[in-house]
Amino acid sequence: MGFVRSVAATTTTTIAATALASLSSPSSSSSSSSSPFSHIPKTLTFPSLFSNPFLKPARLGLVKSFAPPPSAVHMDAPSSDQKFSSQNGSLLPELLTEYMVDMKCEGCVNSVKNKLQIVDGVKNVDVDLSSQVVRILGSSPVKTMTEALEQTGRKARLIGLGVPEDFLVSAAVAEFKGPDIFGVVRLAQVNMELARIEATFSGLSPGKHGWSINEFGDLTRGASSTGKVFNPSNHVTENEPLGDLGTLNVDEKGEAFFSGVKEKLRIADLIGRSIALYGSEDRSDPGLTAAVIARSAGVGENYKKLCTCDGTTIWEATNQDFVTSKV
């Protein structure tokens, strides 16, 4: 199903006027001098998902514009008094997670719902058979929900993660594709003061490994060319830089799983930078490997069933395309 972004002529006119007004006034400093979004006027606003189609103020003016397809599943966004659950010692806020699942009948729908509803941290499940979209509200990690869907015997692919009607860039991903270390790191904006991070790795040596978000996405020399740990100019702290992700605990199989939150982290500031893994806990070595952080689909942004590049049905893509079979 193709996904179409549309903006009415009146909306375009309003945006243009707002942009001109913002250019004539002093701009606030960006969160990082090297941020790729530093040129975007802070006052730009766009229509939001599942709400009034007219313009409304946004928290930072970074609001995404898209229209849900007619058959898209509708689910309320996490409330301000949402519950938090613990995972690996971290408090996890609720997010909306969307999957495209190969379902044929109401029996498939019931099977998927029944399996997901018993997963710890899942608050609500909505399934739209016509669009084959499964939408989950809760604090359960993506890895756990994906494994639950696989146990139903149905093919599924993650297509969206985040909170609707909020941010221009609400989700990002970094993929480690080997040849020795494999992994996926997913980042989702919960609000402008909080981001949720989930990571899965394999191929590491057992023990503790430092990891961080680094300034640059230059992988010409692996982790050693990605610069210092990311720390925006407006982040004043006597402790660690904002991009310090702490320590990964790797088991005897060489595998590690992390899920947690990071305060003050804004996904829009991270696109084009990198996540680096180190051999030592204190990151004193040049680094083992790194991956570039790229934007990924947020909630309501990816209802297509066919890949536009090769026409492959989304759940018929091989595991090698996603590398998730390695982790």
Residues 6+ positions from 85 with CB-CB distance below 8 Å: 91, 92, 120, 121, 139, 140
Please provide the average confidence, as pLDDT, over all residues in the chain.
74
**pLDDT score at 227:** 97
Q: Give dist(CA 306, CA 29) in Å, integer.
A: 41
Calculate mean pLDDT across residues 178-199: 94
- pLDDT single digits (tens) 259-283: 999 999 999 999 999 999 999 999 9
| C-beta separation of 321 from 310 below 8 A | no
* Strands 207-214 and 171-177, bridge-based pairing: unpaired
DSSP strand pairing (194-202 vs 182-191): antiparallel
Radius of gyration from C-alpha coordinates of the chain:
20
What confidence category does residue 291 fall into, taking pLDDT thresholds of 50, 70 and 90? very high
Whole-model pTM? 0.68
Burial of 303: CB neighbours in 10 Å, binned 0-12, 13-18, 19+: buried
pLDDT tops 60 at residue 22 = no
Under 8 Å between Cβ of 254 and 203 = yes
Map residue 324 onto helix, strand or coil: helix
Mention every residue, 6+ apart, whose C-beta is less than 8 A from residue 68: 49, 50, 74, 300, 303
With cut-offs at 50, 70 and 90, classify the pLDDT of residue 18: very low
User: Quick one: DSSP state of residue 53?
Assistant: S
Q: Which of 160-174, 244-258, 311-325 has the highest mean pLDDT?
A: 244-258
- Confidence band of 311 (pLDDT split at 50, 70, 90): low
Q: How far apart are CA 261 and CA 209, in angstroms?
A: 18
Pick from 31-35, 74-78, 106-110, 207-211: least confident: 31-35
Angle at 193 between CA 190 and CA 198, to 5 degrees: 45
Distance in angstroms (rounded) separating the CA atoms of residues 13 and 54: 12
Domains of the chain, earliest start first? 85-167+298-326 (3.30.70.100), 171-295 (2.60.40.200)
The tens digit of pLDDT for each residue in 98-150 reads 999 999 999 999 999 999 999 999 999 999 999 999 999 999 999 999 999 99
Q: Could you give the dihedral angle defined by the CA atoms of residues 267, 303, 327 and 169, in that order, rounded to the nearest 10 degrees?
A: 0
Q: Which residues contact 5 (CB under 8 A, 6 or more apart)?
A: 65, 66, 67
Mean pLDDT of 70-80: 44
Q: What is the pLDDT of residue 166?
A: 54
**How far is Cα of residue 232 from the mean position of the Cα atoms in its chain?**
20
Per-residue pLDDT, 17: 41
Nearest residue to 293 (alpha-carbon basis) of 245, 247, 236: 245
Mean pLDDT of 291-320: 64
- Ranked by mean pLDDT, which of 85-94, 187-196, 243-252 comes out on top? 243-252
Q: What is the pLDDT of residue 125?
A: 97
**How much is the pLDDT for 305?**
59
